[in-house]
Amino acid sequence: MSASQIILYALIALIVFSWIRKALNKRKVKHYDAAEINNKIKTSRDVLLLDVRTNAERKSNHIKGSLHIPLNQLSKRTVELKKFKDKEIVCYCRSGNRSLNAALILQKQGFNAANLKGGITAWNY
């Protein structure tokens, strides 16, 4: 087997591993669609929307009443969320990928975290 074949197989294995890991992580988090979370907000005060997008994205558009902590700062700023320990924190980004990672980070820290399926794009639709 040549070196290029070994590299190719290693790359394929890495991609497959990454895909499986993402699929397994997706199962660990509860996912809401925009209608479900909008309804939940109207009927309950036990929900916090957390915007994990960049500052520039937040300035262009955001969900009213949401808290903003960019994903790259989340691990360092979870202390700001301690007062919301009793609430379900529903993370959102543009399309739902970064917010899935944010929800996983928060779950590891003991928070009740979920993901907004489709992100703010689905919310605005």
C-alpha–C-alpha distance, residues 44 and 60, integer Å:
28
CATH topology of domain 30-124: Oxidized Rhodanese; domain 1 (3.40.250)
C-alpha–C-alpha distance, residues 52 and 42, integer Å:
22
Query: Known catalytic residues?
Result: 93
C-alpha–C-alpha distance, residues 21 and 38, integer Å:
30
pTM: 0.80
Spell out the per-residue pLDDT of the chain, length 125, in tens: 899 998 998 999 889 887 777 766 667 899 999 889 888 888 877 899 999 999 999 999 999 999 999 999 999 999 999 999 999 999 999 998 899 999 999 999 999 999 999 999 988 76
| pLDDT tens-digit readout, 104-113 | 999 999 999 9
